[in-house]
Amino acid sequence: MIWDTWKKGFDAWENATAKYTEHWMKSPLVLGPTGALLGGAMKAKAAYDKAASQWVGSLGMATKRDQERALHTLNQLESRLLDLEERLVDATTSHKKD
């Protein structure tokens, strides 16, 4: 009984609080500074990564970005080969039908 009463009170509080926070989460007063802060942090991280990458690159080693690009190219090559395989199978099938 006590629990049920408390639960009803909690649900009412939770609903009201959720509506209140949603209102603020849409407010430009909150979103503007939050977005700027997030953007600033991202720019700082990107700048740090770039500096670290340049240093690694200056030692003549492949940077993380270089490795990512190489791996991505390999994945793309795999996909292109699979495309080709599909087209060959289709062409062979239609040739047999003819």
Binding footprint of other proteins on the chain (CB under 8 A): 3, 7, 10-11, 14, 17-18, 21-22, 25-26, 31-32, 34-36, 38-39, 41-43, 45-46, 49, 64, 67-72, 75-76, 78-79, 82-83, 86
Q: Which residues contact 25 (CB under 8 A, 6 or more apart)?
A: 31
Q: Which residues contact 68 (CB under 8 A, 6 or more apart)?
A: none
Question: What minimum distance in Å lies between the beta carbon of 66 and other proteins?
Answer: 11
Looking up tokens 């190489």 gives: 70
Q: What's the CA angle centered on 31, arms 28 and 34, to 5 degrees?
A: 145
Q: Which is nearer to other proteins, 55 or 83 (CB)?
A: 83
Question: What minimum distance in Å lies between the beta carbon of 14 and other proteins?
Answer: 5
Q: What is the rounded CA–CA span in Å between residue 92 and residue 86?
A: 10
Question: What minimum distance in Å lies between the beta carbon of 60 and other proteins?
Answer: 21
